[in-house]
Structure 1
Amino acid sequence: MARPNYKASVLLVEDEEHLHETLRLNLELEGYEVTSAYDGSQAMKSIQQEYFDVIVLDIMLPEMDGISVTESVRLQNNDVPILILSAKNTPADKITGLKKGADDYLTKPFNLEELLLRVDKLISKNKRIQDRETVGDTYTFGSNKVDFKAQEATIKDGSVISLSKKEAMLLKLLVENKNEVVTREKILQTVWGYNVYPTTRTIDNFILNFRKYFEEDTRNPRYFHSVRGVGYKYTE
């Protein structure tokens, strides 16, 4: 189910202007928020600055082709769904695109309705993966107990502390993805909201606070870990 008033965001990367405008118009008519890029480097800049629910990406692009863009995105551990559009229609081309990290591959000329259907499916699938089974209002680990609703926690020494809204949100996100690395992009998208990017240091400070509250030994954390260059992880 889509969130009320939430418009899924699409990055459209296509250098052929007429096709770009046609696709943009149709995606907007479907209710998507569309950001345009006309070459590979422009696309990479947008991806580094914003969160997208899906990328519709042409292969033959100036500056940096679609395959290179896909590779770069995946190297950054960004798991945004990518739909490749290509005039190349041999099985080998398709396999290359999928091997490099694309989620879907559509050859030109394509049916517009099919493209819109595939975009919708990729967004829905991604949404389901992100909406993991949620934890309840309270969660206990070690000698700590967190009440997400009240935004407070009983910590290791028995005292009760207040949590800021963002602390509670980040804590819940990490717990819901227990034992898995949560990427910086996903944290920014979920906790700070779309397209609002604080620095990595901001998230690091939150993790340091969690260690101070909940860890017996802050230098050798058991629960809260930073994974350099990738993201953060809660383990139990």
Structure 2
Amino acid sequence: MTNQKKILIIEDDANMGFLLKEFLTTSGFLVELATDGDAGLNAFLKNGADFCIIDVMLPGIDGFTLMERIRKEDPEIPVIFLTARSMKQDKLKGFNLGGDDYITKPFDEDELLCRINAILNRYQKNDSTESEPEISCNIGKYLFETQNQALIFENEIQRLTYRECDVLRMLCSNKNNIVRRSDLLNAYWGRDDYFNGRSLDVFITRLRKRLANDPNVSIENIPKVGYVLKD
């Protein structure tokens, strides 16, 4: 099956890792299992992956640090944190680092599978640039080219991530009008909830920094409603 997606699981509980590997294999994925952070990083660097499931509490490199190192190699790879750590600050850290989801143990395998497929579908939609018309949008002194994921200011090019590009595209398409948080979250995170909302806040902050060279450009926050891109 040439279209099979490869999932890398980094989980130090050998029994759980084996059961999860068997479940995802029977669900149609190619699966590699590593049992500590160092082995997980080596497996990714050697064999690659289309998706990572990472335990936070790992021997060697911890899960948060591991994700940061993996994302340096592949900034767009989807990542789910799977962990027994359910404290709010841990979840926020996972999302603020750019994790796509955070699932606490014990978990339902069918729910995990649904979340994996939902995340993959969103990434695959982002990859299908041929099906989306290119938008060139002037934002103050910036030129935003969606197909190239480029934000250009005085011949200096910044390459945006998929998620940054998606959020800015929606803001730009509705420039000087309110874009509702719920619309952004449902379109690009799959659901409107507290933790995804915090992840959206991180991307809005990144976009503000990227647009900081033109003082006339702003992304205004409308509390409890959404955002307005102004220039």
| TM-score bracket for this pair, using the shorter chain length | 0.5 to 0.7
Distance (whole Å) between structure 2 residues aligned to residue 31 and residue 11 of structure 1 = 14
Cα distance change on mapping 1:96 and 1:26 into 2, 3 Å: same
Equivalent of 1:65 in 43, 47, 62: 62
The one-letter amino acid paired with 1:25 is: E
Shift of 1:127: 1.1
Matches within 5 A, 1:75-224: 75-133=72-130, 177-178=147-148, 180=150, 181=159
Q: Aligned partners of 2:82, 2:104: CA distance in 1, in Å?
A: 6
**Which residue of structure 2 lines up, in the alignment, with residue 36 of structure 1?**
33
Larger CA Rg, structure 1 vs 2: 1
How does the TM-score come out when normalised to structure 1?
A: 0.55
Distance 2:3 2:46 in 1: 19
Distance 1:33 1:115 in 2: 16
The aligned residue for residue 213 of structure 1 is: none
Distance 1:176 1:90 in 2: 37
Structure 1: which 5+ residue stretches go unaligned? 137-174, 184-236
CA distance in 1, matches of 2:122, 2:146: 18
- Cα 1:5–1:182 shift into 2, 3 Å: farther
Structure 2 partner of 1:19: 16
Look up the equivalent residue of 1:9 and give its one-letter code.
K
Q: Distance in 2 between matches of 1:60 and 1:101?
A: 18
- How many residues align structurally? 142
State the TM-score, normalizing by the size of structure 2. 0.56
The CA deviation at 1:76 is 3.7
Structure 1 segments (4+ residues) deviating >6 Å: none
**Does the aligned pair in 2 maintain the 1:11–1:55 contact within 8 Å?**
yes
- Please provide the CA RMSD for this pair: 2.5
1:50 aligned residue: 47
In 2, Cα distance between equivalents of 1:92 and 1:176: 34
Q: Deviations over 1:182-235 (max 9, x none)?
A: 99xxxxxxxxxxxxxxxxxxxxxxxxxxxxxxxxxxxxxxxxxxxxxxxxxxxx
Tell me by how many angstroms 1:178 deviates: 2.4
> Post-superposition shift, 1:73?
2.2
